C-alpha cells in the first residue's frame, strides 16, 4: 500500500495523485496544506484545447491548479450538453498525471432561460469526475453578475445544484456564489450566504468571488472576515496586477488568474511571464520558483494493514506500520484515493520522528 506523507521539506517532486482539497482557515487548501494558485482555460470561449506539456510547464511557475470554464450555458448557443466532455476528460487526466488540481465551472450569462441548463450540465458532469480527488466543482461563474445580490431564481439554482452535485459526488468540494465583485460590501455577502440556507456543509463547500471593482485591501479584509465565521473563500477570477496577488497571498487564500483565458494563441504556460513580473513570492508545490518548493514524500508501508478489533462495539480498524520516516514533523497521512488516514491536527500533535528515523503507527476505521 502506497501512502502519501504530508509534510514540509526539500527534495524530489515527482508527480502523484492529489487528495481532495479541504477548508482550512479562510480558504480551501490542497491535500498538502498549500493554497491553490491556478492558471485559466476558457473552453466556453476558446474552441480548442491547449497542449499536454503546458500543464507541466505552468506548474513550475508556482502554480498547482487550473481553472476551467468547461461549457457555455446560453441556450441559444446550440451546443449540446457535454460538447466539451472529451476535452475535459483530457484536462482531468493530464492534471492528475501532473499532480495539478482542476477547478471546473461554466461560462456564459445567467438568465431565467439558462437556470435549468446549468442543472442539466451538472447532471452530466457531477458523476463523471466524482471519484477524481483532484477535481473541484464551482457551480457557476458569476451567477450574481454586476449586482450585490443574487436573484431569487439564481439563489435557488445554487441550492438545487449543490443538492444535485451532492447526490452524484458526495465527497467533491463545491464552490458557491462566485460573485462578480464585492462592491456591495460584506453585509451583502453575508446576506447571500444566509440565503443559501442551513443545508450546506461548509466543511466541504466554500465561497468564490471575483476581484473586480474593489481594491486589494478590502478583498483581503473580506477574506479574513469570512474565515473568522468559518467560511472558506477563493478568488476565482481577477484582473492582472501585483497588488491583488499580494493581497491574496497576505490573506492566505486560494486564487485563480484570468490571464490565460482570452485569445486562441495564449496557453496556460504563457502565464509564467505575468507571474515573474509581479514580484510576489510563495512556497510552491513544485519547482524552485519563486521559493524552494514544498516536498511530499511517498513511503511504502512496511506491511499490509492489519485488521484489528477494538472498542466495546467490536468496530473494525486497520493498523499500518510505516518505516523510514525522516527527521521532521508529519502533518497527515493519505492513501492514493485521497482518503485521510491520520491527521495530526485533529488526532493529537504531529508525529515527530526525533533523532534518526522510527516507525509511525496509524489506526483508522475500515470504510
Which residues constitute the domain of residue 31? 22-276
In a domain, 290, yes or no: no
CATH number, domain with residue 170:
3.20.20.80
- 180-211 per-residue burial string, b: 16 or more CB within 10 A, e: under 16: bbbebeeebbeebbeebeeebeeebbbbbbbb
Q: What is the pLDDT of residues 246-276, one digit of tens each?
A: 999 999 999 999 877 655 556 777 788 888 8
Q: What is the pLDDT of residues 45-56, one digit of tens each?
A: 777 788 888 888
Cα 194 to the chain's mean position, in Å? 23
> From CA 106, how far away is CA 122, in angstroms rounded?
10
Confidence tier at 10 by pLDDT (50, 70, 90): very low
Could you give the number of structural domains in the chain? 2
In a domain, 11, yes or no: no
Question: pLDDT value at position 337?
Answer: 47
Tell me 186's DSSP state: H
> From CA 241, how far away is CA 290, in angstroms rounded?
17
Q: What is the pLDDT of residues 64-107, one digit of tens each?
A: 999 999 988 876 667 888 989 999 999 999 999 999 999 999 98
Q: Are 143 and 150 in contact (CB under 8 A)?
A: yes
Q: What share of the chain is helix, strand, coil (3-state, %, to 5)?
A: 25, 25, 45
In a domain, 7, yes or no: no
- Of the candidates 325, 351, 342, 284, the one whose C-alpha atom is nearest the C-alpha of residue 39 is 284
Same structural domain for residues 157 and 261?
yes
Amino acid at each position: 500500500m502506497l501512502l502519501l506523507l504530508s509534510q514540509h521539506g526539500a527534495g524530489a517532486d515527482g508527480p502523484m495523485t492529489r487528495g481532495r482539497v479541504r477548508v482550512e482557515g479562510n480558504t480551501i487548501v490542497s491535500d498538502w496544506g498549500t493554497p491553490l494558485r491556478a492558471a485559466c482555460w476558457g473552453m466556453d470561449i476558446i474552441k480548442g484545447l491547449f497542449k499536454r506539456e503546458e500543464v507541466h510547464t505552468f506548474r513550475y511557475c508556482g502554480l498547482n491548479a487550473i481553472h476551467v470554464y468547461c461549457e457555455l450555458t446560453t441556450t441559444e448557443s446550440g451546443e449540446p450538453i457535454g460538447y466539451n466532455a472529451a476535452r475535459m476528460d483530457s484536462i482531468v487526466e493530464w492534471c492528475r498525471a501532473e499532480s495539478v488540481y482542476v477547478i471546473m465551472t461554466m461560462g456564459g450569462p445567467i438568465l431565467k432561460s439558462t437556470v435549468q441548463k446549468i442543472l442539466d450540465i451538472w447532471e452530466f458532469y457531477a458523476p463523471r469526475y466524482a471519484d477524481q480527488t483532484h477535481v473541484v466543482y464551482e457551480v457557476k461563474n458569476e451567477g450574481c453578475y454586476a449586482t450585490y445580490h443574487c436573484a431569487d431564481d439564481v439563489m435557488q439554482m445554487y441550492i438545487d445544484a449543490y443538492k444535485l452535485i451532492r447526490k452524484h459526488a458526495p465527497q467533491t468540494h463545491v464552490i458557491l456564489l462566485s460573485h462578480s465583485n464585492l462592491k456591495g460590501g460584506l453585509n451583502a455577502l453575508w446576506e447571500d450566504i444566509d440565503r443559501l440556507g442551513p443545508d450546506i456543509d461548509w466543511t466541504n463547500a466554500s465561497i468564490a468571488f471575483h476581484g473586480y471593482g474593489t481594491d486589494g485591501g478590502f478583498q483581503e479584509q473580506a477574506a479574513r472576515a469570512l474565515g473568522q465565521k468559518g467560511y472558506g473563500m477563493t478568488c476565482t477570477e481577477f484582473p492582472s496586477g501585483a497588488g491583488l496577488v499580494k493581497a491574496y497571498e497576505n490573506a492566505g487564500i486560494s486564487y485563480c488568474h484570468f490571464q490565460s483565458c482570452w485569445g486562441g494563441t495564449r496557453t496556460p504556460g504563457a502565464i509564467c511571464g505575468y507571474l515573474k513580473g509581479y514580484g510576489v513570492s510563495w512556497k510552491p508545490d513544485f519547482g524552485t520558483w519563486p521559493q524552494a518548493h514544498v516536498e511530499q514524500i511517498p513511503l511504502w508501508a512496511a506491511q499490509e494493514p492489519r485488521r484489528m478489533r477494538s472498542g466495546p462495539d467490536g468496530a473494525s480498524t486497520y493498523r499500518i506500520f510505516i518505516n523510514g520516516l525522516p527527521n521532521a514533523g508529519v502533518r497527515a497521512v493519505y492513501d492514493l484515493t485521497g482518503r485521510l488516514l491520520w491527521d495530526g491536527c485533529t488526532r493529537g500533535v504531529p508525529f515527530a520522528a526525533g533523532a534518526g528515523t522510527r516507525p509511525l503507527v496509524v489506526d483508522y476505521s475500515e470504510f
